[in-house]
Amino acid sequence: MPAARQVRLVRLGCARNDVDAEELAARLTAAGWVVTDGPADVTVVNTCGFIEAAKQESIDTILAAADDGPVVAVGCLAERYGAELAAALPEAAVLSFDDYPAIAQRLDDVLAGRPIRAHQPRDRRTLLPITPVERPRVAAEVGIPGHLGGPRVLRHRLDDGPIAPLKIASGCDRRCTFCAIPSFRGAFVSRPPEEIVQEARWLVAHGVREIVLVSENSTSYGKDFGDPFALERLLVRLGREVDGLVRLRVTYLQPAEMRPSLIDVLATGERVAPYFDLSFQHASPAVLRRMRRFGGREEFLDLLGEIRRRNPRAGIRSNVIVGFPGETEADLATLATFLTEAHLDGIGVFGYSDEEGTPAAELPGKIPAAEIRRRVEEIATLAEQLMVDRARRRIGESVQVLVDGSDDDQPGLLRGHGAHQAAEVDAATLLRVAPGERPPQRGDTVEARVVSVEGLDLLAEALQGKRRLEESR
């Protein structure tokens, strides 16, 4: 009997890409392939195409993988550029999202030396009806990612960590002028709640303790069902029906779509982390209008006030773009003032760069690259100090720490995350266990008290005599 073929999956980019990679792994293992981290017959690189740095990392990873044998590029960069990418990188076969259902056959073709014709990119928003309520039926018919058909749970875990993403929707209907994602991810399509609940149960059965709900825009979940409160209902259902789940976290929230009922569930819901990943992008109304976004400093501060009235200890993070076309020094000052007043736990700062095919790329008032770098450094420096100040304000608070493992840099400390911290995105909580106490294992939760900060990380001590452990199953 011939040996099973082996495939190595390299994941780049966001948590949504991680889910796509595990769906590809599930299709491949079902077809008899063995997924490995070591030498393989073929390497599949799940690329990112969000910003220039991510594109370059994807290209570099493809070229490095080609040194070890056949390589296949999938993901956002491959979808967005198709035949153009294939011509520039003859070392790789380039596949579209439409190839995912037949991924095993495509890899067979690569190993057999059969030619792979790279796709010509198209605006995937045109694949679905304009009316949201018609989309689920059409999406199922044409096989849009997110409505894949076939097995109810299409996942193969690529790691054994206690935290895992779960995709609740695909695509985006917003038209932010700086973003190309809707053109290659398509229109917004929600997954049925029954499918999400079943996948959540499967993840918990495979060692997951915290599930992170991801999509391009989570606050829009259910609008294609005609249910404006579908996300709230989903969170309540997951909290009640998924035994063994410790924590739910929601990411990618649009400030303009936040509503009182959603704030309530996120701030106080059963098993729901009081965590708000709000995509502010800027605070100057003038800049936000050029971005085709809503709100501004005052509206955003009002929203933060509503959140903290419901849960003063809620974690809140955001990303901002600096150097957008037409941004003035006054706009930059408005952003700096907002960040100072907002008391955010996490702040990501990005410099603007033109994205091909986006309206922002054609806007007047472009800011020189050197000036953008200066502004990024200014705001990033401020942001780091503000995050340290916010961390210090948490000294004395009790936190429920989900243990990820030991801290490589500080022997004797465990590394984990509180409810207000997202793994791999925010700072961590370093946990000290008293001598003689049984050390918790990866995946356990520990009640602890914050005693100090180390940079942006919190240092916490397990509560002796009152510590509550939930053993991994």
Residue-level pLDDT at 435: 76
Specify the amino acid at residue 445. Answer: T
Distance set, CA 214 to CA 14, 82, 100 (Å): 9, 25, 20
DSSP 278-310: B--B-S-HHHHHHTT----HHHHHHHHHHHHHH
Residue-level pLDDT at 328: 98
Residue-level pLDDT at 406: 79
pLDDT over threshold 50, residue 471 = no
pLDDT band of residue 139 (cuts 50, 70, 90) is low
- Range with the lowest mean pLDDT among 127-141, 286-300, 359-373, 393-407? 127-141
Average pLDDT over residues 153-160: 91
User: Could you tell me how far CA 377 lies from the centroid of its own chain?
Assistant: 24
Contacts 24+ apart (CB under 8 A), 452-455: 452/395, 453/388, 453/391, 453/392, 453/394, 453/395, 454/430, 455/388, 455/427
Average pLDDT over residues 311-316: 97
DSSP 252-285: -B-GGG--HHHHHHHHH-TTB--EEEB--B-S-H
Whether 323 and 352 have beta carbons less than 8 Å apart is answered as yes
- Range with the lowest mean pLDDT among 90-94, 150-154, 391-395? 150-154
pLDDT band of residue 392 (cuts 50, 70, 90) is very high
β-bridge mates for residue 432, sequence order: 413, 461
Domains and CATH numbers, the chain: 6-121 (3.40.50.12160), 126-393 (3.80.30.20), 398-462 (2.40.50.140)
Residue-level pLDDT at 136: 65
Q: pLDDT tens across 227-250, in order?
A: 999 999 999 999 999 999 999 999
Please tell me the pTM assigned to this model. Answer: 0.91
Distance CA 166, CA 431 (A): 27
Residue-level pLDDT at 365: 97
Average pLDDT over residues 364-379: 98
pLDDT band of residue 464 (cuts 50, 70, 90) is low
Two tokens, residue 71: 């390589």
Note the maximum CA span of the chain: 71
The alpha-carbon radius of gyration of the chain (Å, integer) is 23
Phi, psi of 17 (to 5 degrees): -65, -35
β-bridge mates for residue 462, sequence order: 448
